Amino acid sequence: MKKTQQEDFNPVLQKVKILADSDEFIPSYKTEKAAAADLVANIPEGKVTILSNRIVTIDLGFSMALPEGWQAEIKPRSGLSQRGVHIALGTIDEDYRGRMRAVVMNLGKEIIVLNHGERIAQLSLKPVFKFDWEKVDQLDETERGEGGFGSTGL
């Protein structure tokens, strides 16, 4: 029987090459069991003010080279989310070598100030699984069918 990519996956510690402006910008895990590493804002001016319902892009102070077969995702931090600050989920492919940035949205009613060196996002690394796409004339029936957007309850 053919093995799947998931069966071949071995979650050993991977090396990620990083080119950082300084050590403060190297992603860091704050606890031993943390699933994502914290990212800090690189704001040479010291701080940035984000008005309500506005979006800014914040430099994260580094570039990296992911191992083959891996992707990274930039995600929000729960502490900032409680203040109305959201990070647009971004996927970083293994062949990207540019600067890491976070798209920061102020969804709250208050003005938000972010400071240089403040933890603003998280970085999660995941293996990439590829699939073969098979075009068909129809899909198999399920109990749920086409029900979506709350069709299974709130």
Is the pTM for the entire model greater than 0.85? no
pLDDT tens by residue, 110-132: 999 999 999 999 999 999 999 99
What's the CATH superfamily of 13-127?
A: Deoxyuridine triphosphatase (dUTPase) (2.70.40.10)
Task: Tell me the average pLDDT across 6-11.
Answer: 57
- pLDDT of 13 strictly over 80: no
First to last CA, the chain: 41
**Closest-CA residue to 100 (of 83, 132, 133, 123):** 123
Structure tokens belonging to residue 105? 């949205």
The residue extents of the domains of the chain are 13-127
> Which residue stretches of the chain are H helix?
5-8, 78-81
Give the C-alpha distances (Å, rounded to integers) separating 61 from 25, 27, 39, 115.
5, 10, 9, 13
- Burial letters 75-90, b for 16+ CB under 10 A, else e: bbbeebeeebbbbeee
- pLDDT of 71 strictly over 60: yes
Q: Phi first, then psi: what are they for 20, rounded to 5°?
A: -110, 145
